[in-house]
């Protein structure tokens, strides 16, 4: 994971905040940085700007930095953040609006680890019928950064495990067999 560079000196640009508010229909100014979105997001390990920080960037009008972040392409649109937000901000929809804006502005996606992330995501989905986040995170980190990448994130993973945020065993999914069949059909 690389962390996006945020300029040292920032002059807030409310007009750019309003631009993304209009596009997404979400009241970004209402975010009070409680971090609930970030704490629930299953893919922060692969993001360069975690969701609550992205919201802060948008409040400050750092729209250009936001649409150039890896985060908007890593977001799996699972809506966990949206359901957790105490201010009813549909963060997943904001991500969607940022992706649209990025494409509209012709921003070239230079996220070299995106294919690795998607491969780890799909492999976990195929095995369990839904994503098992710890397994996917380990696989992604090993593929993208090798053992050193894994070591760098080990502390964060352990802290999350101690707080009960990570389940070591994969989920039991009733429709697991159907998901496997879908993968087989797609492969054929």
Q: What is the contact surface with ligand SF4 in residues (CB under 6 A)?
A: 31-37, 40-41, 43, 51-52, 55, 75-81, 84-87, 89, 91-92, 95
Distance CA 70, CA 8 (A): 20
**Residue 130 Cβ, how far from ligand SF4 at the closest point, in Å?**
13
H-assigned helices in the chain: 14-24, 36-40, 51-59, 63-67, 71-74, 80-84, 91-104, 114-128, 133-162, 176-187
**Residue 27 Cβ, how far from ligand SF4 at the closest point, in Å?**
10
51 vs 129, beta carbon nearer ligand SF4: 51
Distance CA 94, CA 96 (A): 5
167 vs 177, beta carbon nearer ligand SF4: 167
44 vs 138, beta carbon nearer ligand SF4: 44
Distance CA 55, CA 53 (A): 5
Q: Which residue has the tokens 């975690």?
A: 50
106 vs 164, beta carbon nearer ligand SF4: 164
**Residue 87 Cβ, how far from ligand SF4 at the closest point, in Å?**
4
């Amino acid at each position: 994971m690389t962390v996006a560079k945020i300029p040292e000196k920032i002059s807030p640009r409310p007009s750019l905040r309003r631009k993304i508010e209009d596009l997404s229909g979400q009241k970004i100014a209402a975010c009070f940085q409680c971090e609930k979105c970030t704490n629930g997001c299953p893919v922060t390990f692969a993001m360069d700007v975690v969701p609550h920080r992205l919201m802060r960037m948008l409040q400050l009008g750092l729209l250009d930095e936001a649409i150039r972040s890896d985060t908007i392409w890593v977001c799996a649109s699972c809506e966990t953040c949206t359901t957790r937000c105490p201010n009813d901000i549909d963060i997943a929809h904001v991500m969607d609006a940022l992706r649209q804006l990025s494409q509209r502005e012709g921003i070239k996606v230079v996220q070299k680890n995106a294919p690795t992330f998607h491969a780890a995501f799909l492999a976990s989905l195929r095995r369990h019928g839904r994503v098992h986040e710890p397994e996917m995170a380990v696989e992604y980190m090993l593929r993208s950064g090798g053992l050193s990448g894994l070591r760098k994130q080990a502390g964060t993973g352990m802290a999350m495990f101690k707080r009960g945020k990570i389940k070591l065993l994969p989920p039991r999914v009733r429709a697991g067999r159907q998901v496997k069949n879908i993968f087989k059909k797609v492969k054929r």
